[in-house]
Structure 1
């Protein structure tokens, strides 16, 4: 695969894909099929956040960037909490680079996990992660039912976005009701002035197509979503101190806005579905 903008590197036993083209740069870990960085050339500012204490040696899922959650979200796997891995079993696999190319719109990469069948999900299917690094970063999580019976799955692109300071952030474009995990899943209306003053863990039940992260009253990053049924918004606030791979004050510089399927997607035999997140820089 001769793609001049794509280089392969290794560190601590992990393999990374490093993309650098005329539009932007990105770093992707094959462990987890995990995008770690996206920097558009137009302003040179990082859009993703990775914890300085993230495990980058394959021992644990990587904290930050864009973790791939599949085939369930959180601990919604039908068994006791902790019995199966949170967010599924793709984010701790070594993925394979199956194709790469480049054109005037950017660098195009396709990855596939080592396996898609494990305890908690024993169906025949194929999963593909398609990544385009250009003026925007587009990540498509594609699931295909290759078996003879339908199945139901959930998933998320659990993106951690870099922000200057969480208390200077406003989220725009999100409407409808959300389920509040911190209040026993109470259903509440989305605030009109969506700011952050404490721990936040919400599943917005409307398929918002574009959410905008505004920092210091200036738009910074647009988060576009397709093929989803919900949008998850999370910041651990001071609970970050109890997360082993986060700095106690790391919450100040990140916000998760996650394109998600949390209400169950049914795939019939031979059917495929793509959930797509597009991260578009807004130039200040």
Structure 2
């Protein structure tokens, strides 16, 4: 397979990286986890993704930051005791394969597939692919196709960490409706107005709005467009970051997770497929 001319392949500490450089943007993707680590549009040269300085980049455990792929369950919602199966599923800690790549007038197209999809906790026949377009926007599409003879239900998320200058000077717009508050025993609450982050935040918003924005005082804005989701998850560990081994104690000041997610269960019939898409738009 030939590799698109916009892509440089390297291997560091046992992980294969794809570095993309085209006229629209630069980006870095790790084949471990099928994990996007960086996206810098050339319109403003501002990094849009946050990567922990203590992220494990040796294939030993999932990478903290960027765009982790959660599949086929979200968090520990796998029907077993917590810790019995890996949090956020089986894809973010395995090596993916580069199936195809192409340069076009819209940017650089990459298609990745995981090494396997059947595992303890999910024993169905299916095909999963991650299609990435690095261009004026970063478009990420996760497709799950049922290649078996029985329907299955799954959850999934594009668990994106966005970089911000100062979380206390950051506002989210476009999010509405009620959310489930994990920090308050899953209480149902209304979305705040204005939407700012002032403490530990772990919320599953049940209204699948198609577009939200991250507003900052000093740097360009970022819009997030979502499709195929039933939820938006907003997460910031606040001072709890100090207890996360692969995160700086003050890293919470410079990141916000806004996750395009399916948390209420998507059913895929035999021969059908589900597509979850998130597009990161420099504004």
Scaled to the shorter chain, the TM-score interval is: over 0.9
User: C-alpha deviations, 1:27-55, integer Å up to 9, x for none?
Assistant: 00000000000000110000000000000
Q: Which residue of 1 aligns with 2:12?
A: 11
Q: Which residues in structure 2 correspond to 1:238-257 (within 5 Å)?
A: 238-257=239-258
Q: Provide the secondary structure at the position in 1 that maps to 2:240.
A: helix
Q: Which residue of 2 aligns with 1:75?
A: 76
Q: Provide the secondary structure at the position in 1 that maps to 2:242.
A: helix
Q: Which residue of 1 aligns with 2:129?
A: 128
**For this pair of structures, how many residues does the alignment match?**
282
CA contact (8 A) 1:213 1:219 kept: no
CA distance in 1, matches of 2:3, 2:246: 36
Q: Which residue of 2 aligns with 1:23?
A: 24
Q: Which residue of 2 aligns with 1:178?
A: 179
CA distance in 1, matches of 2:209, 2:172: 12
Structure 1 alignment gaps of length 5 or more: none
CA distance in 1, matches of 2:146, 2:69: 18
Q: Which residue of 2 aligns with 1:147?
A: 148
Q: Which residue of 1 aligns with 2:102?
A: 101
CA contact (8 A) 2:3 2:100 kept: no
Q: Provide the secondary structure at the position in 1 that maps to 2:221.
A: strand
CA distance in 1, matches of 2:81, 2:29: 32
Q: Which residue of 2 aligns with 1:46?
A: 47
Q: Which residue of 2 aligns with 1:269?
A: 270
Q: Quote the offset at 1:190 in angstroms.
A: 0.4
Which one is further off, 208-217 or 90-99?
208-217
CA distance in 2, matches of 1:276, 1:120: 24
CA distance in 1, matches of 2:123, 2:172: 38
Q: Which residues in structure 2 correspond to 1:54-69 (within 5 Å)?
A: 54-69=55-70
CA distance in 2, matches of 1:220, 1:51: 21
CA contact (8 A) 1:170 1:217 kept: no
CA distance in 2, matches of 1:96, 1:177: 39
CA distance in 2, matches of 1:170, 1:45: 18
CA contact (8 A) 1:27 1:37 kept: yes
How has the CA–CA distance of structure 1 residues 170 and 263 changed in structure 2, closer, same or farther, with 3 Å as cutoff?
same
User: C-alpha deviations, 1:77-110, integer Å up to 9, x for none?
Assistant: 0000000000001000100000000111000000
Q: Which residues in structure 2 correspond to 1:183-194 (within 5 Å)?
A: 183-194=184-195
CA distance in 2, matches of 1:122, 1:4: 38
CA distance in 1, matches of 2:149, 2:6: 40
CA contact (8 A) 1:127 1:141 kept: yes
Q: Provide the secondary structure at the position in 2 that maps to 1:251.
A: helix
Structure 2 alignment gaps of length 5 or more: none
User: C-alpha deviations, 1:187-227, integer Å up to 9, x for none?
Assistant: 00001200011110000001110010001187610011000
CA distance in 2, matches of 1:93, 1:259: 21
CA distance in 1, matches of 2:66, 2:5: 24
What TM-score comes out, normalization by structure 1 length?
Answer: 0.98
CA distance in 1, matches of 2:263, 2:186: 13
The alignment yields a C-alpha RMSD, in angstroms, of 0.8
- 1:92 paired to 2:93: yes
Q: Quote the offset at 1:273 in angstroms.
A: 1.0
* Off by >4 Å, runs of 4+ in structure 1: none
